[in-house]
Structure 1
Amino acid sequence: MQVLSVFTSYQHLAQVYDQLMTEVPYELWIQYAEKMWKETSPKKIIDLACGTGSISIPFAELGYEVTGVDLSEEMLAVTYNKAKEKGVPIQLLHQDMSELEIPMTVDAVVCFCDSLNYLTEPGAVLETFQRVHHALKPGGLFLFDVHSLYKINHVFGDHTFTLTEEDIAYIWQCYLEEGSLVTHELTIFVREGPLYKRFEEVHVQKGYSHEEIVKCLKTAGFDLLSCTADFTDEAPEEQSERIFYAAVKTK
């Protein structure tokens, strides 16, 4: 286990990630979590796949003891600098979510923003759930969301998306493969003075059925509390795009 305390540099995507995500409603994830755990009032939480801290930091500002975990040192560097600027304490761990290992147990674990879809093997999903189960106290909550199969196969599919703004632009091409596997190829242009600097990113995500996720939860020792869609209290429908799961450690 590597604990990160000081960061000095990071790569391009981490630098521009927050610019690309300005329209993402992070506050809705915060509201969802606080609604789901209002009866248990957790104190210590893990933000799994925390990225640039856009959820970890608001949690810390609300008074939670937050541990942010991410595979990307560059993303963690951004989180560290943002937390330092805001004066909020956050512990940061550089780990793969399927290899989560912490020296204490916590009251709740969240894994938001479709991070679990980056696990492209079912075995890695089960391993992650087992690691989360081990990190939780008895009765602890595990909250997460995933892109639905509909979104993977039909919204992303083989489509192309573009963004053009004054300081940043991208071309985002999606390539769908068998097994609900989608490759995102991003070409990003960032203004540097009078010129634009170009760089490329490739990300792969996999869609999972509700049955696959519930099976992994049960195998790992969780009971499913709720399954809702798209920041509502409603059950998922055929064209729901983001599915939210709340599970409790019972074994």
Structure 2
Amino acid sequence: MTRSYGQFATVYDQLMEDMPYADWLGFARAGWSHYGGMPSTVVDLGCGTGSLSIPLARSGCHVYGIDLSSDMLTVARSKWDELPQQLVKPRSGSIQWLQQDMREWELQEPVDAVISFCDCLNYLTEEADIEAAFRATYAGLRTGGTFLFDMHPPSQLIRYAEEQPFTLDERDVAYIWTCDFEEERCEIEHHLTIFSREEDSRFYRFEESHVQRAYDPDWIEAALRRAGFQTVDRYADFEFTPADHESERLFFAAVK
């Protein structure tokens, strides 16, 4: 598994400000309503800088934000700690930030729900790693608990490879993004050269590489069932509709 979020953590929120966080939250709430009701305790698996964990906690959930990157968790913790108290109370729940590997995460008590959005699971590049993450999640859920997540399908990684390179040129941050695609494994390596403006107005350059792999959706569904999930449903692109070859994101709902 390759996921380097050291220096990247400092500019992550700038680069991701247009990501559909509200749509992910909307899908989660709709999924919870459909599969048994709003949870009290939620694990945000691969929580990054807390852009989903924080609004869930503000709405009253007790959230465990789990990520492998200490740098991302540092940013997330700062965002939560610096949130004006009038925006936190009186409805807020709580957040506990934990540095753990999604393949073997664990808590002392089972939770009501687990989410893992923004294609976090595509960063697991071996089938055994996916299976391990599913087993850990099954073990961490209470009976009747829900696991909601999204993944890029193979077709989306192919589109990335075909449409590259990508560029961004903003006032305080810019990047050049290229990709190398390995067809046999349906695996893509993203190469990013990032330029970030510092306080002295000079730009600091650094490089990041991120590897993702896409899996056959039928295999993902079978792996969830092997982990023990009895109910497994598949949707596409933030809607509770069937996926097709044009779908950019697959959404899975699994119930213990």
TM-score range, shorter chain: over 0.9
**Residue aligned with 1:128, SS:** helix
Residue in 1 aligned with 2:225? 218
Partners of 1:246 and 1:85 lie apart in 2 by 33
Cα distance per residue 1:95-133 (max 9 Å; x no partner): 110011111100000011000000000000000000000
| Counterpart among 187, 193, 209 of residue 216 in structure 2 | 209
2:108 corresponds in structure 1 to 103
Q: SS of the residue aligned with 2:243?
A: coil
Name the CA shift for 1:72/1:157 in 2 (closer, same or farther; >3 Å). Answer: farther
CA distance in 1, matches of 2:161, 2:102: 24
User: Is 1:238 equivalent to 2:235 in the alignment?
Assistant: no
Q: Which has the higher contact order (CA 8 A, sep 6+)?
A: 2
Residue identity in the other structure for 2:142: K
User: Match of 1:138?
Assistant: 143
Cα distance in 1 between the residues matched to 2:201 and 2:255: 53
Q: Which runs of 4+ in 1 moved over 6 A?
A: none
- Indicate the SS of the match to 1:97: coil
Alignment: residue pair count: 240
TM-score scaled by length of structure 2: 0.91
Kindly provide the amino acid, as one letter, of the partner of residue 191 in structure 2: E
**Letter of the 2:62 counterpart:** E
Q: Which 10-residue stretch deviates more, 170-179 or 81-90? A: 81-90
Q: In the alignment, residue 21 of structure 2 is paired with which amino acid? A: Y
In the alignment, which residue of structure 2 is the partner of 1:229?
A: 236
1:70 partner amino acid: D
What's the TM-score once normalised by structure 1's chain length? 0.92
1:34 corresponds, among 29, 37, 46, to 29
Partner SS state of residue 98, structure 1: coil
Ranges in structure 2 where 5+ consecutive residues have no aligned partner: 89-93
Task: Give 3-state SS (helix, strand or coil) of 1:222's partner.
Answer: coil
Structure 1: runs of 5+ lacking an equivalent: 1-9
The corresponding residue for 2:12 is 17
Q: Distance in 1 between matches of 2:10 and 2:159?
A: 30
After TM superposition, the structure 1 stretch with the greater mean CA deviation from structure 2, 183-192 or 37-46, is: 37-46
> What residue in structure 2 maps to residue 94 of structure 1?
99
Query: Is contact 2:221–2:232 with CA below 8 Å preserved after alignment?
Result: no
